[in-house]
């Protein structure tokens, strides 16, 4: 009768690292259109954000610098991306705002305390203040945020849609 060697129990930390690597690889693969382990440098922000991180454009620029080889290239390799993305996710950098923070931000903008902002107000704030949205980003946001019947953003209903599930 052959005795089976007992395998050591799996280290939960190793399992968590492997799961994190798989999440990163899956996100990267979506944008690796040539299936050659590279993505266009312009896609990195989208990939990082799909992993639940919310860096500003300035922070994204710093992330790209971390990924660069000797010279800036129009693409990023998976190996370069994986190392930086692992560090970002393990350090829990660029965490999204909490629901109550987002609600307070909308309330600050709602000077008349109406419980909503008009499309015009949103456009003004998103294009002229802070880190401006591009036209495409603004249109995408408005398509999800505007109440079609009232033409306003009822922010108490919209904010929960913006919150990122921390379990992701």
pLDDT the model gives residue 12: 66
Tell which residue, 42, 162, 155, 146, has the closest CA to residue 106.
Answer: 155
31: containing domain: 12-90
Query: Are residues 159 and 107 part of one domain?
Result: yes
- DSSP annotation of 127 reads H
Asked if 56 and 109 sit in the same domain, the reply is no
pLDDT for 28: 96
What mean pLDDT is reported for the chain? 86
pLDDT at 168: 43
Q: What is the CA radius of gyration of the chain?
A: 21
How many residues comprise the chain? 168
Shared domain for 62 and 82, answered yes or no, is: yes
Instruction: Show the tokens assigned to 70.
Output: 């000797």
Write down which residue in 90, 123, 138 finishes a domain.
Answer: 90
Strand partners, 40: 75
Summarize pLDDT for 89-104 with one digit per residue, the tens. 999 899 888 899 999 9
Q: Please check whether residues 17 and 86 belong to one and the same domain.
A: yes
- CATH code of the domain covering residue 51: 1.10.238.10
The pLDDT of 61-66, averaged and rounded, is 92
**Same domain membership, residue 105 and residue 86:** no
Share of the chain above pLDDT 90, in %: 53
Count of C-beta atoms within a 10 Å radius of residue 163: 15
């Amino acid at each position: 009768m052959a005795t089976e060697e007992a395998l050591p129990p799996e280290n939960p930390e190793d399992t968590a690292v492997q799961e994190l690597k798989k999440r990163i690889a899956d996100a990267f693969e979506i944008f690796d259109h040539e299936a050659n382990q590279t993505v266009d440098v312009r896609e990195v922000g989208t990939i990082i954000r799909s992993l639940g991180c919310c860096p500003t454009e300035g922070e994204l620029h710093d992330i790209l610098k971390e990924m660069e080889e000797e010279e800036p290239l129009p693409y990023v390799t998976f190996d370069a991306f994986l190392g930086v993305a692992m560090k970002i996710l393990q350090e829990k950098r660029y965490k999204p705002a909490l629901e109550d923070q987002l609600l307070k931000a909308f309330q600050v903008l709602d000077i008349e305390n109406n419980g909503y902002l008009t499309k015009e107000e949103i456009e003004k704030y998103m294009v002229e203040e802070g880190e401006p949205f591009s036209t495409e980003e603004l249109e995408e946001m408005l398509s999800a945020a505007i109440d079609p019947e009232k033409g306003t953003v009822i922010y108490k209903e919209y904010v929960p849609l913006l919150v990122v599930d921390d379990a992701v």
